[in-house]
Amino acid sequence: MKAVIMAGGLGTRLASITKDMPKPMIPIDGKPVLLHQIECLKENGIIDIIIITGHGTEQITKFFNDGSMYGVKISYIIEKYPLGTAGGLFFLKNSINETFLLLNGDIMFDVNFRRMFEWHKKMNSVATLFTHPNGHPYDSALIITDSNNRVIQWMHKEEPRTDYINRVNAGIHIFEPYIFSYINALKKLDLDRGILKTLVGENVVYAYDSPEYVKDLGTPERYERVCKDYFSGIVNGKNLSRKQKAIFLDRDGTINKHIGFLTKPNQIELLPGAAAAIRNINMSGYLAVVITNQPVIARGDCTFEELGEIQMRLERLLGEQGAYLDATFFCPHHPEKGFENERIEYKIVCQCRKPLPGMLFQAKQKFNIDLSKSYVIGDNECDVQAGLAAGCKALLINEQNSFKSLLACVNNIL
């Protein structure tokens, strides 16, 4: 698979750091971020690389030359004038006839591309977007998907929004050559608005959700954060080819106020310090994963659609405070019968309802989690029992316990 890197950006917001340096050449541990990208591609067996340059072309080509020094083959496309995030692909229209990878040149990442490629083929996707939550969804374009992770809406940051799932495009894409049918002239073209948003209408775009490390270097503050994450080992450690650590969180009574059976989004109220606790998890290298029993489905008190709306409210409230969840697993079952509107198909004895550890095993399988190095935090004994049954360490939050809040509990771990 060829990789195409869009490396022609000006990096205006990083001018205080980059000076005249092109943004893809900004150093992390003495190496340009572009070299970090190339090393990750090589680790994944991707060695045929095309770099599209504009601003700072001479610095990039002089440093990398033909790529042989780094064990790869590099060729260049030089934009004589800015062509946006996709206009330069016109030069590849007649030379790429197979699946290819397209990357933004100003992001730091460590990703298992083999895993993403396999998923792309499995879904028979034309365009696969690497998506993840971030700490600033309120100023990011959001990707809306259906239950099969097919993208159904592209919500730009200037569009009005209420509640949402925190899912953003990270700047990594796998494409089939079909996308070149949307590039018919050499002109400035925006990838998101000019190609992807149109493809969404054809139902051929999918979101590959992953908690692996991908961050842009768009501001001095984000650049500083990436440097810290690199030196602490977080960047490398979150590659899904390596064992992950997670802090599993109960929802009601742990993150948000417990009110009994919560069935409406407007009933969600974050507990004091909950967002700060999850934000600390986000910065620690642990995954923040919710595991929650939701018998309201089996009881007929709440539909899956309504449960989804509750989740969107929760993610928006967390996102407003710079926190995000890497994943949420829920159990819809409830074995006791006799409720007026109950859904009989969910009135079963299952393996996912806490205190059984089924949801933890689902997360382990999906994210390659080492449960022995992970924690479960909840406000009920069933949370503790589920954690211990899965081989995790488990901590209880209650008024009689030394940990009276999620924040205190998380800080004790970290």
Which tokens belong to 405?
């809040």
**Which residue among the candidates 252, 326, 379, 383 is catalytic per the annotation?**
252
Q: How far apart are CA 151 and CA 200, in angstroms?
A: 6
Catalytic (active site) residue 252: yes
Q: DSSP state, 122?
A: H
Residues in the chain: 414
The residues near 251 (Cβ < 8 Å, ≥ 6 apart) are 290, 292, 314, 328
Q: How far apart are CA 384 and CA 32, in angstroms?
A: 45
For 35, phi then psi, to 5°, come to -70, -40
Amino acid in position 357:
P
- The answer to whether 76 touches 53, Cβ cutoff 8 Å, is yes
Catalytic (active site) residue 250: yes
Q: How far apart are CA 174 and CA 144, in angstroms?
A: 18
Q: How far apart are CA 325 and CA 237, in angstroms?
A: 18
| Max Cα-Cα span within the chain | 74
**Which residue among the candidates 250, 326, 379, 383 is catalytic per the annotation?**
250
Active site residues: 250, 252
